[in-house]
Amino acid sequence: MAKAILVLEDGRSFEGISFGADGEAFGEMVFNTSMSGYQEILTDPSYAGQIVAMTYPLIGNYGVNEEDVESRRPWVEGFVVREASRVASNFRSTKSLQDYLKENSIVGIEHIDTRALVRHIRDKGAMRAGISTVETDPQALLRRVLSSPEMANRELASSVTVASNYDYPAGDREKYHIVAYDFGVKTNSLREFSKLGCRITVVPAETTAEQVLALEPDGIFLSNGPGDPASMINVVEEIKKLATSQKPMFGICLGHQLIGEAFGGTTYKLKFGHRGGNQPIKDLTTGKIEITAHNHGFAVDVNSLPADVEVTHINLNDQTVAGLRHKSLPVFSVQYHPESAPGPHDSEYLFERFVDLMRK
């Protein structure tokens, strides 16, 4: 088995075993607390620019299949696990996780102490890192880590978005037409809308408000995606125009942060972000608690929001803003993944809430 090393930007290093592709990978070191769903995590465009460590110790035991991908390819820069299962046991499995990583040129490392790595990130914060199967000197790899881009002020949505418009059909009789901005949209969001009778026109991240309105949508969806929302100045300007068009608008994750910015709020980088399927959220409009799937490293500053925007959801772990709505415009958003792929299904009602908004 070939050796591999992982080096963090503060100089801490870990030695392990290579699994996946040979080579080097650089990105922001983050961790995900989900016990399963690794294929959905790998193919979530919100992970572009990041190396992901799984906190659950055994990953890969049900293999990989054709159905559980959330976009056209994996987007993680590198993958870190305690132990990659050599046995893939599931009737849907078509190949092993190792083969999948190799096919998609993703560098992985296993047999490192992921508990120590995660505790370090929780203590020091998310930081740049590098994985290498070819460089054996941690100091040499560290120099390349320090020359790699930081996540703050990094615009990544344009690197994952589609090149041109495409339509996702309604599952049954078409009742509504939604235009969805692809900042890194996951396929399950489109499936959820389709189940509710919506045809979705997916458009590139740089689409103008005029081009969106020319498609005559009943509603506008702002998807999840990677990078720093504060870097997306032009997109925020277009969202401002769309917000005042009286078209219902629903944003999740990056889309939520962009709505916050469009209404005059500001965003900031969290110490190590929220990534996993077990974040407790309180819906302040109903008093109910939902367990939700998250993947974000930025948040909306509650103190920056204007008087006409109210907080609708909060994260019970750290009291950060988890949902917004405008008091007079048909616009709302949440800081998490209601499409739940992977994750619990507590938040599916939000898709129905958006359809109700279009119906009214």
Q: Is 198 among the catalytic positions?
A: no
Question: Residues 40, 342: contact at Cβ < 8 Å?
Answer: yes
Question: Residues 133, 78: contact at Cβ < 8 Å?
Answer: no
Half-sphere exposure for 57 (CA within 13 Å, toward CB): 4
Task: Identify the active-site residue in 28, 40, 253, 294.
Answer: 253
Question: Residues 16, 5: contact at Cβ < 8 Å?
Answer: yes
Spell out the residues 6+ positions from residue 289 whose beta carbon is closer than 8 angstroms to its own: 280, 281, 282, 283, 316
CA dist 355 and 171 (Å) reads: 14
Q: Is 339 among the catalytic positions?
A: yes
Helices and strands in the chain, H and E counts? 10, 19
Task: Identify the active-site residue in 256, 274, 326, 337.
Answer: 337
Name the one residue in this structure whose structure tokens are 């914060």: 125
**Exposure of 334 by Cβ count < 10 A (0-12 exposed, 13-18 middle, 19+ buried)?**
buried
Name the one residue in this structure whose structure tokens are 């296993």: 110
Q: Is 337 among the catalytic positions?
A: yes
Pairing state of beta strands 107-110 and 166-168?
unpaired
- Which residues are identified as catalytic? 253, 337, 339
